[in-house]
């Protein structure tokens, strides 16, 4: 690459950046776009009678970037939850690392490289036509003492990054605890999920759960909800949802016909008939749903799993931590997600089935990650016309046409790659849900982790195997995307746009930490390789302790901070429980707790009510279900 | 190796076996040897007035082998504990595997190999002068279909072994639980060890422990014992022990002088003076020990660790399972060993120090395992005389003497190897105690594990690197030794000789299981290699699923049975606690519990009492301490 090419690229990108920023800043001012750019503010203004003045004040100034960053941590915490706070810290953390590495790179390493003469002397008269290589370490003479500057840079960047990592891990970990201590009572804090409930031949799952917890947790057990198979009802509810949407569209069409052609023409009558027909069908469906629901909740097949609620958080945590019976494949306990975070259509209730599906998912994941090279190789074939002609001899003449040639070698490869890359996150999400995770947040977290290692494998290692075509992938797959994937629930516009569906309280931080440690180790490996190539083997040897110390550092961080990402301590749980004792609202909370884990497919539905209010929640019962992967 | 050589070897070993058996069977009959062969029986006969008839009846018949095996499991359990039962199962398990593998090998594989003709035709006329190779797979023709018999044998042996492994793991695991359920209350069941106790500047460790457990475990906390630094007192006690032994010897000498020369000669008077001198010194030392003990127990330096006892086993287990405070490096809890199993001179009380020592031990262990090749290579050099002459030119003439030559090349190498091999278990034990284990049983278990992998590395893998000299090591290091190391506390004569010092309730079984799985995987790898060399690659490919299925089998066994080797379930603990409620002796047990974890160095000692009773216990306070590694 030439210096001029780099400069051009920088110019174009900066121009695009300014343009998009200007467009956004002006578009968001228009009241028509409030619904797009500030739906949450709109919702908070509570009705269609918007306090326009306030909104305009909030949205119109182009200094929104500064304001987005000036939001205090407390403000962010209260409006968007701890995930948003942690996500913003992730961004500032990345900026800090990039700044330090950038300053060292530009002001120290670049001059060192530039002043080398391994490649050739620099043509100062025509600087832009020089190759970019003169700015890289390749230009430093083999065995030169200047390479020690690079050596120092590796140490400095590692130490600085580890220092930041330690502080951030410590901060997020302590923040999680104080967030928990100040939180209102949440059903998930008092509830566990029990799977593989053994059932006697004549008894029900519910009897079995009741008996067991009354026997072994008599002082803390509160209530339980057995999970039932509701897939039939769920399908009916979804059908209704689709039908209701269609009905609303039809009503709109009818209104349009009426206003254009008056109420008497044949078109209007025909439309009215269709609408009436749909309304009748929907009512029938509603009746079917109701029947199905009562059938499922009374006589539906019980799954051998239940949500069990306790009187104290400490009691619930003990039930999670202890092995319940001698056979560890029975009465398997885990923390329950919050009710709206439950991924209902899950249940592989038996230990063996879950274990087998975990194995299958592991094999599938490894296969997909490795086999992704196949489409890549095919795409590489496409960029090579003569290869393509050899594959498809009948199309030889057709392929020679200049336009076809350009499309196939220039456009098609990217399109195919994009298609495969678009597939991957969906596949990862599907794998994670098949693995037996029971909450949306865990499924997303696990899918992000899978996607991260998929990316690392294919970009860093696949690159070595398959070469140039990966430059194309790199633009879509770059690691910088990972935080945005991670932040599916907490995108940059935390405050105005999204209302977070769940809050993991920064539980994704360990993924960030692990991938940073991995990057450091990769840097060390590359540095050792380069110093060896550059014939300064003392530097290679002196670098060896660095990855080992980094791994020890990582092991310490995991021992010190990771436990707080899985569970809270006895001290914290007991303190929190004791505070509740003096709280008047606790009794009310416990009343609601027993019905908190109700399958949304079994909640009452009414499609026909308020038929023209487009903005009303469509179907409360499918709110959660709709996000799932079926 | 020739067939004749093998036959000779078999004959010699069988002869030795019969001879030793005959010697043992006759020697143990002599009443003089009862003390050696049946000390436990003697002790049970309660005094020196032995019920000689009963002992003779027990010891005299040569059918002791049969009787040793006829002992029922219940009998063994009651007299020697669960460890002995599990150890006997280990032996029968090994015999079963060896029998099946042996039958397949001798009656199926050997004829197949023998009938091959890859090497050369068998000289039936002079069978014993044939090479043993004709009995091995090398003699089967490359690519021959007969190799499929070997293929089948690998599958059959694997399936049979896994079947046995599953049953044994299941049996030991369930036996552990029933053993626990029928056990008397033991202090270790109700007690935990807490380390890294944070202390305020003015308060003591004891206050801190008391306050913490009264606050967060108010219903189950019973009492605690803070550990103190007692190394000075312990040294004094040990000095006293040595001095007391010397005194007894001196007294004996004095008696001998008296009976030989009469009471008046100078020799007797001199002896008496020395004895009196020793007695005075011992009394002084005894006084010092008493002073040191009272000083240590009143104002001695407190270690930031304590044994904390609870009212219920369930309460203790909860305290072990839960993270106590937000900082997981404080209030680190673990199960306490039984009082007589505690390894007192341990304490690395801080989290960081323990963690660092674990890292150091890991590095030391890996270094020792790898560097063991150095003495091996040196020994290899010794067997080569010309090499030795090159190393030590001044000794050239000396080395040429035939006797010196024979000693150095024949005897010295084995001696040096034996010396190093004798060192290894001691080093492993030292490493395990440095690692922070706090009980003799855990130190031994961990040392056995280390020794096992040391053996596997050096015998299996080192062999490939260093060749022939390892044949010598192999005779000392063979894996068959491992069970005997494991059984340090449960040697074959469970019933008559040793009274077990501690009972881990078969906690070592997972080591056996893991090493069997490892052996199976090694067998698969070797089989794949051989089938590839023998040009029957389909067999190699069809073998690939076997190690994977074996690993999955192992993973299932670990999930299903391993948890019961670390802790008991809530159900079991609560049942056991409830049974105690109706037991009259429980109150008495709890009274004793608070003083059960007393450092033996702080127990009262009396050296001077009963000065001539050789058989009295020497020093009750050093009974436990004496076994440790200082």
- B209-246 pLDDT, tens digit per residue, is 999 999 999 999 999 999 888 888 888 888 888 888 88
Is B326–A572 a contact, with Cβ atoms under 8 angstroms apart? yes
Question: What is the pLDDT confidence band of residue A168, given thresholds at 50, 70 and 90?
Answer: very high
- Predicted pLDDT at B312: 93
Q: Say how far apart CA A83 and CA A492 lie, in whole Å.
A: 12
Sequence-separated (6 or more) residues with CB below 8 Å from residue A509: A86, A90, A168, A169, A172, A565
- Predicted pLDDT at B482: 42
Residues of B with CB under 8 A from a CB of A: 174, 177, 216, 317-318, 321-329, 355, 359, 552, 556, 559-560, 563-564, 567-572, 574
pLDDT at A3 over 80: no
The mean per-residue pLDDT over the stretch A102-116 comes to 89
Q: What are phi and psi of B144, to 5 degrees?
A: -65, 145
Place of tokens 């680190």: B332
Token pair, residue B106, equals 């001798």
pLDDT higher for A268 or B486? A268
Phi-psi region of A610 (alpha: psi -120 to 50; beta: other; left: phi over 0): left
Q: How far is CA B94 from CA A22, B90, B98, B164, B519, in A?
A: 79, 6, 6, 10, 13
- Predicted pLDDT at B349: 65
pLDDT at B582 over 90: no
pLDDT higher for A47 or B69? B69
Q: Say how far apart CA B552 and CA B563 lie, in whole Å.
A: 17
Is B329–A560 a contact, with Cβ atoms under 8 angstroms apart? yes
Q: Work out how many domains chain B is built from and give that number.
A: 4
Helix (H) or strand (E) holding A378: helix A373-382
B563 to chain A: closest CA residue:
A328
Token pair, residue B504, equals 């881990």
Residue A321: its chain B contacts at CB < 8 A?
318, 321-322
Q: Say how far apart CA A561 and CA B600 lie, in whole Å.
A: 38
Q: Which of B29, B47, B70 is the last residue of a domain?
A: B70
Residue A481 sits in the same domain as residue A365: yes
Residue A202 sits in the same domain as residue A345: yes
Report yes or no on B168 lying in a domain: yes
The mean per-residue pLDDT over the stretch B45-51 comes to 51
**Is the separation of the CB atoms in B507 and B173 below 8 Å?**
no
Report yes or no on B580 lying in a domain: no
pLDDT tens-digit series, residues B21-41: 888 777 777 777 777 777 776
pLDDT at B392 over 90: no
Is B560–A328 a contact, with Cβ atoms under 8 angstroms apart? yes
Classified as helix, coil or strand, A583 is coil
The mean per-residue pLDDT over the stretch A339-351 comes to 78
pLDDT at A562 over 90: yes
Report yes or no on B387 lying in a domain: yes
pLDDT tens-digit series, residues B334-357: 999 999 888 887 666 678 888 888
- Predicted pLDDT at A620: 35
User: Residue A20 carries which DSSP code?
Assistant: H
pLDDT tens-digit series, residues A474-530: 444 444 444 444 344 333 765 555 566 778 888 889 999 999 999 999 899 989 988
Q: Say how far apart CA A513 and CA A167 lie, in whole Å.
A: 11
Q: Say how far apart CA A466 and CA A280 lie, in whole Å.
A: 60
Token pair, residue A265, equals 């023409």
Residue B230 sits in the same domain as residue B320: yes
What share of chain A in percent tops pLDDT 70?
A: 79
pLDDT tens-digit series, residues A55-92: 555 555 566 677 767 778 888 888 788 888 898 899 89
CB pairs under 8 A between A and B: 80
What is chain A's mean pLDDT, rounded? 80
Q: What is the DSSP secondary-structure string of B553-579?
A: HHHHHHHHHTHHHH---HHHHHHHHHH
Report yes or no on B582 lying in a domain: no
Question: What is the pLDDT confidence band of residue A122, given thresholds at 50, 70 and 90?
Answer: low
Helix (H) or strand (E) holding A75: helix A73-104
- Predicted pLDDT at B490: 35
pLDDT at A105 over 80: yes
How many other CB atoms are there within 10 angstroms of residue A116's CB atom?
20
Task: Report long-range pairs for A74-79 (Cβ below 8 Å, ≥24 apart).
Answer: A75/A495, A76/A494, A76/A495, A77/A179, A79/A494, A79/A495
First to last CA, chain A: 47
Residue B317: its chain A contacts at CB < 8 A?
322
B330 to chain A: closest CA residue:
A560
Residue A337 sits in the same domain as residue A360: no
pLDDT tens-digit series, residues A432-475: 988 888 888 889 889 989 988 888 887 666 655 554 444 444 44
pLDDT at A215 over 80: yes
pTM recorded for the entire structure: 0.81
Query: Out of A23-37, A321-335, A567-581, which region has the weakest mean confidence (pLDDT)?
Result: A23-37
pLDDT tens-digit series, residues B177-205: 999 998 889 999 999 999 889 988 888 89
pLDDT at B100 over 60: yes
Token pair, residue B151, equals 């293929």
pLDDT tens-digit series, residues A372-397: 877 777 776 676 666 667 777 777 77
Query: Out of A381-390, B165-174, B547-556, which region has the weakest mean confidence (pLDDT)?
Result: A381-390
Residue B428 sits in the same domain as residue B455: yes
Residue B386 sits in the same domain as residue B307: no
- Predicted pLDDT at A574: 92
Phi-psi region of B369 (alpha: psi -120 to 50; beta: other; left: phi over 0): alpha
What is chain B's mean pLDDT, rounded? 80
Q: Say how far apart CA B130 and CA B136 lie, in whole Å.
A: 12
Residue B386 sits in the same domain as residue B533: no
Which of A571, A573, A576, A578 is the mutation pick for testing B, counting most B CBs within 10 A? A571
Tell me the shortest Cα–Cα distance from B280 to chain A, in angstroms: 55
Residue B387 sits in the same domain as residue B301: no
Residue B561 sits in the same domain as residue B617: no
Report yes or no on A576 lying in a domain: no
Residue A485 sits in the same domain as residue A557: no
The mean per-residue pLDDT over the stretch A235-263 comes to 81
Rounded-to-5 percentages of helix, strand, coil across chain B: 70, 5, 25
Report yes or no on B620 lying in a domain: yes
Tell me the shortest Cα–Cα distance from A309 to chain B, in angstroms: 18
Token pair, residue A390, equals 């050899």
Helices (H), A300-411: 313-321, 351-371, 373-382, 385-391, 396-400, 402-406
pLDDT at B616 over 50: no
Q: Which of B449, B475, B501 is the last residue of a domain?
A: B501
pLDDT tens-digit series, residues B57-69: 555 555 667 776 7
Q: Say how far apart CA A358 and CA A361 lie, in whole Å.
A: 5
Q: How far is CA A167 from CA A93, A160, A572, B73, in A?
A: 10, 11, 22, 58
Q: Say how far apart CA A73 and CA A506 lie, in whole Å.
A: 14
Residue B79 sits in the same domain as residue B63: no
Burial (CB count within 10 angstroms: exposed 0-12, middle 13-18, buried 19+), residue B70: exposed
Tell me the shortest Cα–Cα distance from B332 to chain A, in angstroms: 12
Q: What are phi and psi of B539, to 5 degrees?
A: -65, -40
The ipTM (two decimal places) reads 0.80
Q: Say how far apart CA A287 and CA A290 lie, in whole Å.
A: 5
Classified as helix, coil or strand, B490 is coil
pLDDT at B295 over 90: no
Is B563–A328 a contact, with Cβ atoms under 8 angstroms apart? yes
Strands across the sheet containing A221-228 = A221-228, A302-310, A191-195, A332-335
Q: What is the DSSP secondary-structure string of B75-132?
A: HHHHHHHHHHHHHHHHHHHHHHHHHHHHHHIIIIIHHHHHT--SS----GGGGGGSBG
Residues of A with CB under 8 A from a CB of B: 174, 177, 216, 317-318, 321-329, 355, 359, 552, 556, 559-560, 563-564, 567-572, 574
Is A325–B570 a contact, with Cβ atoms under 8 angstroms apart? yes
Q: Which of A519, A536, A567 is the last residue of a domain?
A: A567
Q: Say how far apart CA B558 and CA A575 lie, in whole Å.
A: 36
Residue A325: its chain B contacts at CB < 8 A?
569-572
| Identity of the residue in B216, B317, B569 whose CB atom sits nearest the CB atom of A570 | B216
| Identity of the residue in B177, B325, B329 whose CB atom sits nearest the CB atom of A571 | B325
Identify the domain containing residue A38 by its residue range: 1-70
Report yes or no on B510 lying in a domain: no
pLDDT higher for A334 or A271? A334
Beta strands in B163-276 (DSSP E): 191-195, 221-228
Tell me the shortest Cα–Cα distance from A551 to chain B, in angstroms: 12
Sequence-separated (6 or more) residues with CB below 8 Å from residue B562: B510
Is A355–B563 a contact, with Cβ atoms under 8 angstroms apart? no
pLDDT at B86 over 50: yes
Residue A174: its chain B contacts at CB < 8 A?
326
- Predicted pLDDT at A518: 92
Residue B90 sits in the same domain as residue B217: no
Which of B196, B208, B322 is the mutation pick for testing A, counting most A CBs within 10 A? B322
A329 to chain B: closest CA residue:
B560
Of the candidates B110, B153, B150, the one whose C-alpha atom is nearest the C-alpha of residue B133 is B110
Is A324–B355 a contact, with Cβ atoms under 8 angstroms apart? no
Report yes or no on B356 lying in a domain: no
CA angle A152/A155/A160 to nearest 5° reads 125
Q: Say how far apart CA B595 and CA B597 lie, in whole Å.
A: 6
pLDDT tens-digit series, residues A292-310: 888 877 777 788 899 999 9
């Amino acid at each position: 690459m030439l210096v001029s090419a780099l400069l051009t690229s920088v110019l174009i990108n900066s121009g695009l950046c300014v343009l998009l920023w200007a467009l956004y800043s002006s578009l968001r001012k228009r009241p028509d776009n409030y619904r797009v750019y500030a739906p949450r503010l709109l919702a908070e203004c509570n009705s269609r009678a918007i306090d326009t003045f306030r909104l305009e004040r909030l949205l119109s100034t182009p200094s929104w970037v500064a304001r987005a960053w000036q939001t205090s941590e407390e403000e962010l915490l209260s409006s968007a939850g701890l995930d948003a706070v942690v996500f913003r810290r992730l961004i500032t953390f990345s900026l800090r690392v990039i700044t330090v590495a950038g300053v060292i790179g530009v002001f120290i390493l670049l001059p060192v490289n530039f002043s080398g003469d391994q490649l050739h002397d620099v043509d100062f008269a025509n600087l832009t036509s020089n190759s970019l290589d003169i700015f890289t370490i390749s230009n430093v003479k083999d065995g030169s003492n200047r390479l020690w500057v690079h050596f120092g840079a590796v140490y400095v960047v590692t130490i600085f990054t580890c220092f930041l990592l330690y502080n951030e891990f410590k901060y997020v970990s302590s923040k999680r605890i104080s967030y928990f201590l100040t939180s209102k009572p949440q059903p998930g804090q008092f509830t566990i999920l029990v799977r593989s409930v053994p059932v006697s031949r004549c008894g029900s799952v519910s009897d079995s759960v009741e008996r067991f917890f009354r026997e072994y947790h008599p002082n803390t057990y509160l209530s339980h909800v057995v999970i039932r198979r509701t897939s039939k009802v769920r399908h009916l509810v979804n059908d209704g949802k689709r039908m209701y949407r269609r009905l609303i569209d039809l009503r709109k069409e009818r209104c349009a016909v009426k206003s254009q052609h008056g109420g008497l023409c044949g078109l209007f009558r025909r439309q009215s008939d269709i609408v009436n027909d749909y309304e009748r069908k929907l009512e029938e469906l509603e009746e079917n749903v109701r029947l199905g629901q009562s059938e499922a909740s009374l006589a539906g097949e019980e799954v051998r799993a239940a949500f069990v609620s306790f009187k104290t958080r400490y009691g619930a945590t003990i039930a999670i931590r202890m092995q319940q019976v001698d056979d560890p494949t029975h009465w398997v306990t885990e923390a329950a997600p919050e009710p709206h975070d439950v991924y209902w259509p899950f249940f592989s209730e038996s230990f063996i089935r879950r274990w087998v599906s975990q194995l299958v998912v592991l094999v599938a994941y490894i296969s997909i990650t490795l086999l992704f090279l196949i489409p890549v190789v095919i795409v590489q074939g496409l960029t090579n016309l003569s290869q393509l002609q050899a594959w498809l001899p009948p199309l030889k003449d057709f392929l020679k046409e200049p336009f076809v040639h350009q499309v196939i070698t220039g456009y098609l490869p990217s399109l195919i790659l994009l298609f495969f890359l678009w597939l991957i996150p969906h596949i990862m999400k599907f794998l994670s849900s098949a693995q037996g995770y029971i909450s949306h947040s865990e499924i997303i977290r696990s899918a992000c982790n899978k996607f991260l290692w998929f990316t690392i494998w294919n970009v860093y290692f696949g690159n070595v195997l398959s070469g140039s075509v990966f430059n194309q992938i790199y633009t879509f797959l770059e690691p910088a995307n990972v935080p945005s994937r991670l932040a599916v629930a907490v995108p940059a516009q935390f405050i105005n746009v999204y209302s977070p569906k769940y809050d993991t309280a920064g539980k994704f931080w360990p993924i960030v930490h692990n991938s940073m440690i991995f990057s450091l180790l990769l840097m060390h490996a590359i540095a050792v390789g380069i110093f060896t190539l550059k014939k300064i083997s003392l530097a290679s040897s002196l670098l060896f302790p660095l990855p080992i110390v980094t791994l020890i550092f990582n092991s310490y961080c995991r021992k010190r901070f990771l436990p707080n990402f899985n569970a809270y301590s006895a001290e914290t749980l007991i303190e929190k429980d004791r505070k509740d004792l003096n709280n008047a609202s606790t009794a009310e909370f416990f009343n609601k707790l027993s019905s908190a884990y109700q399958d949304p497919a079994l909640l009452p539905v009414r499609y026909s009510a308020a038929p023209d209010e487009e903005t009303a929640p469509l179907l409360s019962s499918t709110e959660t279900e709709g996000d799932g992967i079926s």
